[in-house]
Structure formats: C-alpha cells, structure tokens
Structure 1
Amino acid sequence: MTKHTGAWSGTVAKKSRAAFDGSNLYRRLAVRLDDGTTIDVEVGRALWRELEVGDRLVQDEGGTPHRGQSSTA
C-alpha cells in the first residue's frame, strides 16, 4: 500500500479490516478524494471505529488522517 504523506481530504467510501499475515489486524478505509480519485488508507483502531461511510476525513501535510468538518456549503 502506498503511503499518502501529502495533504488531502475526502469522504470515507468503504471500511474494511483483515488479518493478512494471520496475526495482525489491519484497518483500512477507501477514501474518495475531493478530486474524485480513491485511495486506501490504513488507520488505527480508534479512528476506524469512530468513522462511518460518508464521514469526512482529512490529512494535513506530513500529518496523520483525522476526522474533518463536513462541508455544508
């Protein structure tokens, strides 16, 4: 999986989790970016549980993904 270190924002399109190596549980989100492209993002347990499909997710330059403000404009 590619690391997305730049700034981006989008909405959660899909949530998934799996133990690909048989021992570690990986939590991933498919995020539809504002430009229409989709990326896969690995997140921690707390954030994965907090988010639902349709929620806004934002990452600042060099930071980690976090819940963003919903756009109501």
Structure 2
Amino acid sequence: MTTNKDAWAGTVVKKSRAMLDGSNLYRRLKVRLDDGTQMDVKVGRDMWKELAVGDRLVKQQGEDPRRG
C-alpha cells in the first residue's frame, strides 16, 4: 500500500474489491509504475468505478491519486 506522502505515476493493470473484514468493502487497484514495479492502491468507490484497466494514474505528494 502507498502512503499519502508518496508520489508516483503508472497504469492500472487490475481492479479488485473484497469484504476482508466481513462488513467493509475495500476497493483496490494494482498499478504498474513507470519503473516497472507494481503496487496495490486503495481507492474510494467513485474513483474505482471511474477507472478501467489500462487507465493512467498520477499521484502527487500529499494528494490523492487522479486520472492522468
């Protein structure tokens, strides 16, 4: 997972959601960063619904990820 202090850019390679604790629905994206590494990013419902595999994401330091 990322922290709000990180800055990165990459492409969505997978979308997933799960009720890991049985009551809260968690939405995650697997993102391939520009350097080739992959990471999981937790996002809100609106962002999760808006994005598709292949979309580009950019995150500036101290901000939430946005479509880029």
Q: Which has the larger radius of gyration?
A: 1
Give the number of aligned pairs: 68
Could you tell me which runs of 5 or more consecutive residues in structure 1 were left unpaired when the two chains were aligned. 69-73
Q: Which one scores higher on RCO, CA 8 angstroms, separation ≥ 6?
A: 2
**Normalising by structure 2, what TM-score?**
0.94
CA distance in 1, matches of 2:67, 2:7: 14
Q: What is the percentage of aligned positions where both structures have the same residue?
A: 68
**Normalising by structure 1, what TM-score?**
0.87
Could you tell me which runs of 5 or more consecutive residues in structure 2 were left unpaired when the two chains were aligned. none
4+ runs of 1 displaced by more than 6 Å? Answer: none
Change (3 A) 1:4 1:34: farther
